[in-house]
Amino acid sequence: MTDPQLEADGLDHYPAAFLQHLIDNGEGWKQQGELPRGINRALEDGTCVLGPVAHHDYYNNVIPARSDVEPGAKGSLDYANKLRTERGAPLLVEGEDGSISEATA
């Protein structure tokens, strides 16, 4: 069954791990249309965080790395985990290689 909130946000077509992968490798920013909007929603609601390195979007704007934004700012691990805590979702953790995953109990 699809989560109604994900469906309402248009994210039901894009699993969080897929979106995070596209953020991390920069490919999600190079697209136009629904995919970058889905990525932005995922950053805004704490589903995903910015990637480990900066990238350029389709229009050549710089998308910062998560280390380039202040702790607590949209796209940071602190921001995402604050929102995740509020909704009772698993926290995100950063691996030694910079990868992001949900914490396991």
3-state secondary structure 79-94: HHHHHHHHHCCCCEEE
**CA–CA distance, 80 with 72 (Å, rounded to integer):** 8
pLDDT tens for each residue of 70-103: 999 999 999 999 999 999 999 999 999 989 999 9
Render pLDDT for 47-70 as a digit per residue (tens, 0 to 9): 999 999 999 999 999 999 999 999
Integer Cα distance of 46 and 82 in angstroms: 8
Helices (H) and strands (E) in the chain — how many of each? Answer: 4, 4
What percent of the chain has a predicted confidence (pLDDT) above 70?
Answer: 88
pLDDT greater than 80 at residue 9: no
